[in-house]
């Protein structure tokens, strides 16, 4: 078998350092993406409410077609409703 020989005794150390750097970069990328979730954002609160199945299906279909999250649509609609209610007072 013809194996490629290292040209320097430091080549293996350089390879290890590069693999560690790549690993650290991947971990940093995954940490950044996980920080952007609503579950870790202090400006959001998780809540539970019940919807009729038909409404849930319709909401989910609209969210998928608009490439939005259902929670964003619900929040937008609640903000509009709250503004209208505040205007009544």
Q: What confidence tens digit (pLDDT) does each residue in 1-58 have?
A: 445 565 777 788 788 888 888 887 777 766 665 557 898 999 999 999 999 999 999 9
Number of domains observed in the structure of the chain: 2
Q: Are residues 55 and 21 in the same domain?
A: no
In this structure, is residue 87 part of a structural domain?
yes
pTM over 0.85: no
| Res 56: pLDDT | 97
Q: Are residues 53 and 89 in the same domain?
A: yes
Q: Are residues 60 and 87 in the same domain?
A: yes
Q: Which residue has the higher pLDDT, 66 or 11?
A: 66
Distance CA 12, CA 28 (A): 24
| Res 26: pLDDT | 77
Q: Are residues 37 and 56 in the same domain?
A: no
Contact between residue 38 and residue 44 where contact means Cβ atoms under 8 Å apart? yes
Contact between residue 70 and residue 59 where contact means Cβ atoms under 8 Å apart? yes
Domain assignment of residue 23, given as a range: 8-41
- What's the CA angle centered on 48, arms 72 and 31, to 5 degrees? 60
Distance CA 38, CA 45 (A): 8
Residue 71, pLDDT > 60, answer yes
């Amino acid at each position: 078998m013809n194996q490629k020989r290292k040209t320097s005794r430091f080549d293996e150390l350089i390879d290890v350092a590069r693999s560690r750097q790549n690993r650290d970069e991947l971990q940093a990328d995954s940490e950044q993406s996980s920080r952007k979730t609503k579950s870790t954002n202090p400006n959001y609160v998780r809540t539970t409410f019940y919807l009729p199945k038909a409404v849930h299906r319709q909401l989910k279909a609209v969210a998928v077609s608009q490439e939005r999250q259902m929670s964003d649509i619900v929040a937008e609609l609640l903000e509009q409703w709250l503004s209208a209610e505040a205007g009544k007072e």
